[in-house]
């Protein structure tokens, strides 16, 4: 089979899974809906592997294949095909998306057992993966936008999956609204590209763009900035990042899916995919890099103080995506996508482990209430520590190689790009610290009552309550199910976390400077036209970068150990000492309040003004003015409308007689 046929199969399986589960949810017994979902995504993964094998058979310069099913719209200069683009980049993304999603589905099979919306959950989950695969496989911007919007909807549906929980529905709306802002950006970029180049087809755009635009021409920078708006909204970059932390209201597997495989990586993919545009619009690329740097620093500082376990991981995602956006912004494409891959592994792992801990805590997520789980949950704690090590770029783990490659590239590019390297290392220090803040606080310390209970062999059960507000909750449909699940007691979770744990440690070995560069060589087929792709730092420079990164990582971990293991009270004292800074960070730099003050409040005020003043005086005035004018003008002739039949008859007779007389007189 051809590579593109595999491309279509990659899309077909999750879609079929969605439809099958959605239509048959009533008839599917037990956990079969989950198995169907897992099977669909796994088949999709196998199809991705097929596409990979087909691509590897072809020469490097001939690995961009498109295939069109039919004309989607062809009229008036438009030519939109229903086509997929199968090239190294899209296949790389498909492998990550479908592979990690398979494991997340497997994990969900246990995690969601006992929830009344079990089948609905898997239907949404399959749809989410389908949307993301559509996004990465789309061969033209129209199809890309469709996938992009589907991802937005699927995230809305899953974040507010427990739809009777008010905080969840609000978080879903927030995510959806911010994503729509991004959709508008992407759409405007698409329309600008069509106006300038006359096509929506991706390959044709990349072919014609270098001739059509000169470097940093205003229009191409505009296109770049609009693309960035889309990318930032999906990838939760400043100032569109606020939805991601609230998205933690969804079930934990959803968080893993959003953060690791689907959704937030879409922005990185978009910038990487549109690299021919960004290499012409250098200003836009620099904006991407700067915003990435800001996000990685700000999100990391917030992650230092947030106390909600899942939100710490959420802010770490924001920060790591910041690294990737910075990477694709400065042109370190292979490094950024390599980091995307390793991040998918260790972030999914961290979320799964967090889900297991939250299960043991009976849905409470406050990290201040956790501690000492290492004896009662040895497997989960090991996985948390592995995930944290990879996140902290502990020497030898996957995150170590990928993160430092981005920073080495930033140093290598010279000019003002050293700022990105320094900022990145600063972020890495904070990353190492908060990663092990999670690890040490959950695994070590005195066992909390829940941990002791588990040591004695039974899982803690509490009255179900909303972890965000503490309100008591049902376990009916639309609320979290009554059961809690921990990895130690369900094999699907163990399998999923075990595979990811292995990958989180060893996935970095595919790209060790000077030894091998699997990702870089593979992606070359998609980045042939890039001027920056081949220009890599020397092996010695990379090893220097790795050395610095390793030292910084160890330093951060040592700090965390000092704060949380050796002198557990230190953070409390620091918090009192620097109450102002702590407040700023704990309130997330007041971004929510800023957006509220700059956008929400003025919009509301404008709406109120329009309603009370414009609507009442101008709109109403126009309408009642028109009726008044008609009434006034007709006042003179109203008297004739007496309602007497005889009156009308008389007028008729007189009128006709008058007309007749006139013609008689005029005719003679």
Partner 1 sequence: MDLTWYLVLSALIFATGVAGVLLRRSPLVILLCLELMLNAGNLALLAFSRSLGNEDGQVFALIVLVIAACEVVVGLGLIVAAYRRRIPLNVDEFRNLRG
Phi first, then psi: what are they for 306, rounded to 5°?
A: -60, 145
Q: What are phi and psi of 72, to 5 degrees?
A: -75, -45
Among the residue ranges 257-265, 308-316, 477-485, 630-638, the one whose residues contact partner 1 (CB under 8 A): 630-638
Within positions 495 to 534, which residues make up the interface with partner 1, using CB under 8 A? none
Interface residue with partner 1, options 506, 641, 661, 663 (CB under 8 A): 641
CB of 642 vs partner 1, minimal distance in Å: 6
Least distance from partner 1 to the Cβ atom of residue 658, Å? 14
Neighbours of 181 (CB within 10 A): 14
Largest Cα–Cα separation, the chain: 125
Neighbouring C-beta atoms of residue 572, cutoff 10 Å: 9
Neighbouring residues of 534: CB distance < 8 A, sequence distance ≥ 6? none
Question: Taking contact as CB under 8 A, which single stretch among the options 48-56, 61-69, 138-146, 635-643 is the one that binds partner 1?
Answer: 635-643
Q: Decide: is 74 part of the binding site for partner 1 (CB under 8 A).
A: no
Of 392, 231, 386, 229, give the one whose Cα is nearest residue 300: 392
86 membership: H or E segment, kind and range: strand 78-86
The nearest distance, CB 623 to partner 1, in angstroms, is 22
Compare residues 457 and 643 and give the one whose CB is closer to partner 1: 643
Binding status of residue 640 toward partner 1 by CB under 8 A: yes
Q: In terms of CB distance, is 30 or 643 closer to partner 1?
A: 643
Which of 1, 23, 477, 650: binder of partner 1 (CB under 8 A)?
Answer: 650
For the residues of 25-82, what is the DSSP string, one character each?
TTT--TTHHHHHHHHHHHHHHHHHHHHHHHHHTS-GGG--EEEEEEEEEEETTEEEEE
Nearer to partner 1, 73 or 650 (CB): 650
Q: Is 658 in the site for partner 1 (CB under 8 A)?
A: no
Residue 649 in contact with partner 1, rule: CB under 8 A: yes
Return d(Cα 166, Cα 337) in angstroms, integer.
37
Residues in the chain: 668
C-beta of 629 vs 649, nearer to partner 1: 649
Handedness of CA 509, 513, 519, 522 (dihedral sign): negative
- In the complex, the smallest distance separating the C-beta of residue 660 from partner 1, rounded to whole angstroms, is 12
Minimal distance, residue 622 CB to partner 1, in Å: 25
Query: Is residue 644 a contact point for partner 1 (CB under 8 A)?
Result: yes
Nearer to partner 1, 569 or 667 (CB): 667
Smallest gap from Cβ 634 to partner 1, in A, equals 8
Window contacting partner 1 (CB under 8 A); options: 101-109, 287-295, 568-576, 640-648? 640-648
* Cβ(19)–Cβ(126) below 8 Å: no
3-state secondary structure of 366: strand
Closest contact distance (angstroms) between CB of 661 and partner 1 is 14
Q: How far is the CB of 653 from partner 1 (least distance, A)?
A: 6
Instruction: Map tokens 């040490």 to a residue.
Output: 440
661 binds partner 1 (CB under 8 A): no
Of 422 and 653, nearer to partner 1 (C-beta) is: 653
CA angle centred on 6, ends 102 and 155, rounded to 5°: 40
Helix H or strand E encompassing 84: strand 78-86
Tell me: does residue 632 bind partner 1 (CB under 8 A).
no
Does residue 642 belong to the site contacting partner 1 (CB under 8 A)?
A: yes
CA dist., res. 493 & res. 84, Å (int) = 34
CB 168 within 8 A of CB 226: no
Residues 6+ apart with CB under 8 A from 63: 55, 87, 88, 525, 526
**Contact residue for partner 1 among 456, 566, 638, 668 (CB under 8 A):** 638
Task: Verify binding: residue 630, partner 1, rule CB under 8 A.
Answer: no
Listed in sequence order, the residues at least 6 apart from 539 whose beta carbon sits closer than 8 Å to its beta carbon are 513, 514
**Which of 69, 73, 619, 653 contacts partner 1 by CB under 8 A?**
653
Using rule CB under 8 A, residue 645 touches partner 1: yes
Residue closer to partner 1, measured from CB, 216 or 634: 634
Nearer to partner 1, 416 or 663 (CB): 663
CB nearer to partner 1: pick between 605 and 651: 651
Residues 414-453 that bind partner 1 (CB under 8 A): none
What is the distance between the alpha carbons of residues 173 and 237, in angstroms, rounded to a whole number? 18
Q: Closest distance between partner 1 and the C-beta of residue 639, in Å?
A: 8
Interaction between residue 639 and partner 1 (CB under 8 A):
yes
Q: Is 27 in the site for partner 1 (CB under 8 A)?
A: no
Q: Does 569 bind partner 1 (CB under 8 A)?
A: no
The tally of CA atoms less than 13 A away on the side-chain side of residue 99 is 15
Give, as one character, the DSSP assignment of residue 138.
B
Number of Cα atoms under 13 Å in the Cβ half of residue 511: 28
CB of 666 to partner 1, least distance (A): 21
Q: What element of type H or E holds 103?
A: helix 88-111
566 binds partner 1 (CB under 8 A): no
Residue 637 CB, nearest distance to partner 1 (Å)? 8
Q: Tell me how far, at minimum, the Cβ of 641 lies from partner 1, in Å.
A: 3
Nearest-angstrom CA–CA distance, 211 and 415 = 27
Question: To the nearest whole angstrom, how small is the minimum distance from the Cβ of residue 649 to partner 1?
Answer: 5
| Residue 666 within binding range of partner 1, rule CB under 8 A | no
Determine if 611 is a binding residue for partner 1 (CB under 8 A).
no
Binding range to partner 1, per CB under 8 A, among 226-234, 326-334, 391-399, 646-654? 646-654
Q: Which is nearer to partner 1, 565 or 649 (CB)?
A: 649
With respect to partner 1, which residue has the nearer C-beta, 572 or 646? 646
- Residue 636 binds partner 1, judged by CB under 8 A: no
**Count of CB atoms within 10 A of residue 199's CB?**
19
- Give the count of residues interacting with partner 1 (CB under 8 A): 14
In the complex, least distance from residue 640 CB atom to partner 1, rounded to whole angstroms: 7
Q: How far is the CB of 629 from partner 1 (least distance, A)?
A: 17
Which run of H or of E encompasses 83? strand 78-86
Q: How far is the CB of 657 from partner 1 (least distance, A)?
A: 9
In angstroms, rounded to a whole number, what is the distance separating the alpha carbons of residues 535 and 183?
33
Q: Please state the closest distance from residue 646 (CB atom) to partner 1, in A.
A: 5
End-to-end CA distance of the chain: 96
Nearer Cβ to partner 1 (645/664): 645
Instruction: Please tell me the distance from the alpha carbon of residue 326 to that of residue 549, in angstroms, as a whole number.
Output: 17
Interface with partner 1 in residues 163-202 (CB under 8 A): none
Contact segment (CB under 8 A) with partner 1 among 172-180, 272-280, 317-325, 643-651 equals 643-651
If we measure between CA atoms, which residue out of 174, 281, 168 comes closest to residue 219? 281
- The string of DSSP codes covering 170-234 is HHHHHHHHHHHHHHHHHHHHHHHHHHHHS--BHHHHHHHHHHH--TT-HHHHHHHHHHHHHHHHH
Interacting residues toward partner 1 by CB under 8 A: 634, 637-646, 649-650, 653
């Amino acid at each position: 089979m051809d590579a593109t046929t595999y491309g279509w199969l990659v899309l077909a399986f999750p879609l079929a899974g969605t439809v099958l589960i959605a239509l048959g949810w009533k008839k599917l017994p037990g956990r079969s809906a989950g198995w169907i979902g897992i099977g669909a995504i796994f088949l999709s993964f196998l199809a991705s592997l097929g596409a990979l094998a087909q691509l590897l058979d072809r020469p490097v310069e001939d690995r961009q294949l498109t295939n069109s099913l039919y004309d989607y719209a062809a009229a008036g200069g438009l030519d939109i095909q229903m086509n997929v683009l199968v090239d190294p980049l899209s296949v790389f993304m498909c492998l990550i998306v479908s592979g990690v999603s398979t494991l997340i589905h497997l994990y969900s099979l246990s995690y969601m057992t006992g929830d009344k919306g079990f089948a609905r959950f898997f239907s949404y989950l399959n749809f989410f993966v389908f949307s993301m695969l559509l996004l990465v496989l789309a061969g033209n911007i129209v199809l890309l936008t469709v996938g992009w919007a589907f991802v937005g909807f699927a995230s809305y549906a899953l974040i507010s999956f427990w739809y009777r929980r008010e905080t969840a529905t609000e978080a879903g709306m927030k995510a959806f609204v911010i994503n729509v802002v991004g959709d508008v950006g992407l759409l405007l970029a698409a329309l600008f590209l069509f106006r300038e180049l006359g096509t929506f087809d991706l390959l044709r755009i990349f072919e014609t763009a270098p001739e059509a635009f000169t470097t940093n021409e205003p229009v191409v920078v505009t296109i770049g900035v609009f693309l960035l708006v889309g990318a930032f909204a999906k990838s939760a970059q400043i100032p569109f990042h606020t939805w991601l932390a609230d998205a933690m209201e969804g079930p934990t597997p959803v968080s893993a899916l959003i953060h690791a495989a689907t959704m937030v990586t879409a922005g990185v993919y978009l910038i990487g995919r549109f690299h021919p545009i960004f290499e012409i619009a250098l200003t836009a690329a620099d904006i991407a890099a700067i915003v990435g740097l800001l996000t990685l620093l700000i999100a990391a500082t917030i992650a230092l103080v947030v106390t909600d376990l899942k939100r710490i991981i959420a802010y770490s995602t924001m920060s790591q995506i910041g690294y990737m956006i910075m990477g694709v912004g400065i042109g370190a494409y292979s490094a950024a996508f390599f980091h995307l891959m390793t991040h998918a592994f260790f972030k999914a792992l961290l979320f799964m482990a967090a889900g297991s801990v939250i299960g043991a805590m009976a849905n409470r997520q406050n990290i201040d209430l956790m501690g000492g789980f290492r004896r009662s949950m040895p497997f989960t704690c090991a996985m948390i520590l592995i995930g944290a090590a990879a996140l902290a770029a502990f020497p030898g783990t996957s995150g170590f190689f990928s993160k430092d490659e981005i920073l080495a590239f930033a140093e290598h590019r010279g000019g003002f790009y050293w700022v990105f390297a320094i900022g990145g290392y600063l972020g890495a220090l904070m990353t190492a610290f908060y990663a092990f803040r999670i690890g040490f606080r959950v695994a070590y310390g005195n066992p909390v009552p829940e941990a002791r209970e588990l040591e004695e062999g039974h899982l803690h059960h509490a009255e179900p309550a909303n972890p965000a507000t503490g309100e008591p909750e049902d376990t009916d449909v639309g609320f979290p199910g009554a059961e809690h699940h921990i990895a130690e007691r369900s094999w699907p979770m163990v399998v999923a976390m075990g595979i990811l744990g292995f990958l989180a440690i060893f996935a970095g070995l595919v790209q060790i400077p000077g030894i091998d560069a699997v990702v870089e060589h593979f992606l070359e087929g998609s980045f042939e036209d890039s001027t920056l792709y081949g220009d890599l730092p020397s092996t010695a420079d990379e090893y220097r970068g790795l050395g610095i990164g390793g030292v910084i990582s160890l330093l951060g971990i040592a700090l965390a150990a000092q704060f949380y293991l050796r002198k557990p009270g230190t953070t409390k004292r620091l918090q009192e000492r620097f109450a102002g800074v702590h407040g700023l960070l704990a309130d997330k730099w007041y971004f929510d309040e800023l957006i509220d003050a700059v956008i929400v409040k003025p919009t509301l005020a404008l709406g109120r003004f329009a309603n009370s003043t414009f609507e009442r005086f101008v709109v109403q005035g126009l309408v009642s003015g028109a009726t008044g004018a008609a009434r006034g003008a007709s006042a003179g002739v109203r008297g004739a409308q007496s309602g007497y039949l005889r009156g009308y008859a008389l007028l008729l007779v007189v009128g006709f007689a008058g007309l007749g007389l006139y013609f008689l007189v005029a005719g003679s």
